[in-house]
């Protein structure tokens, strides 16, 4: 199955979403999202068979998230957004992560690899694959358990303040997330798990910073 939507259809929709979400365009994007949902379900099923010892998940972006991304990136067209639909693979450690990365390179039509394991973006660490899957650009993220534990704390912070994901937000929250990211990296190198006490401490900073 390939997507029935062409770039000539999708890109004008993206331009309209950039200006604001109308009911008509929400419905149109919903049709596109249903196609993406079928594709990411099939991709996740394949990944689960390829990596039975890993944890897998998948998601498609909501129209509000897509519109916000297009507003942040005026140079980007909707057909160029690689993470509209994607899958995540979570493994126990760095060796397993590298093995999964090597397997993906030989299995899928990889367009780009972005390794943020040692060079994080705002504390976020993972290996990202942009692939072309049945004609559609999609994303696969490969994370260690420690990298994923950090991301869950980051998502808690983003629930209070979205700009924290892009280097904004409260300085004390940013600092706590950066410190936890560095600790997660060291734990991965040592083959240990991120301590629950440090996770709780970062969560406490986030909640306390936004409680007033």
Q: What is the DSSP letter of 158?
A: H
Whether 100 and 140 map to the same domain: the answer is yes
- Of 111, 144, 177, the position where a domain reaches its end is 144
Average pLDDT, the chain: 93
Structure tokens at 133: 């899957």
| pLDDT band, very low/low/confident/very high, at 7 (cuts 50, 70, 90) | confident
- Of 144, 169, 196, the position where a domain reaches its end is 144
57-62: long-range pairs with CB below 8 Å, 24+: 57/87, 57/88, 57/90, 58/85, 58/86, 58/87, 58/88, 59/85, 59/86, 60/33, 60/36, 60/84, 60/85, 61/85
Whether 130 and 189 map to the same domain: the answer is no
- Of 116, 144, 172, the position where a domain reaches its end is 144
Is the separation of the CB atoms in 17 and 64 below 8 Å? no
Whether 87 and 157 map to the same domain: the answer is no
- Quote the CA–CA distance of 164 and 74 in Å, as a whole number: 21
Task: Return the pLDDT at 67.
Answer: 92
The domain that holds 19 is classified in CATH as 3.30.460.10
Whether 104 and 207 map to the same domain: the answer is no
Listing DSSP states for 68-89 in one string gives HHHHH-TT--GGG-TTSEEEEE
pLDDT of residue 5 exceeding 80, the answer is: no
pTM score, whole prediction: 0.88
Task: Return the pLDDT at 8.
Answer: 84
68 lies in a domain? yes
151 lies in a domain? yes
Q: Which residues does 5 contact at the CB level (< 8 Å), separation at least 6? A: 32, 35
């Amino acid at each position: 199955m390939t997507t029935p939507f062409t770039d000539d259809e999708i890109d004008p929709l993206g331009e309209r979403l950039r200006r604001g979400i109308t009911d008509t365009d929400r419905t149109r994007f919903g049709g596109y999202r249903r196609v993406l949902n079928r594709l990411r379900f099939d991709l996740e099923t394949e990944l689960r068979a390829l990596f039975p010892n890993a944890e897998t998940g998948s998601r498609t972006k909501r129209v509000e998230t897509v519109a916000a991304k297009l507003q942040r990136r005026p140079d980007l067209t909707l057909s160029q957004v690689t993470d509209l639909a994607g899958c995540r693979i979570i493994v126990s450690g760095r060796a397993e992560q590298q093995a999964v990365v090597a397997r993906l390179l030989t299995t899928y039509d990889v367009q780009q690899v972005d390794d943020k394991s040692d060079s994080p973006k705002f504390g976020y660490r993972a290996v990202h694959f942009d692939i072309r899957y049945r004609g559609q650009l999609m994303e696969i993220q490969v994370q260690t358990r420690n990298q994923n534990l950090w991301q869950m704390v980051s998502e808690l912070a983003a629930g209070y303040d979205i700009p924290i994901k892009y280097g904004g937000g409260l300085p004390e929250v940013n600092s706590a997330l950066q410190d936890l990211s560095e600790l997660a990296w060291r734990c991965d190198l040592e083959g240990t798990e991120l301590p629950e006490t440090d996770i709780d401490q970062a969560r406490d900073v986030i909640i306390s910073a936004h409680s007033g």
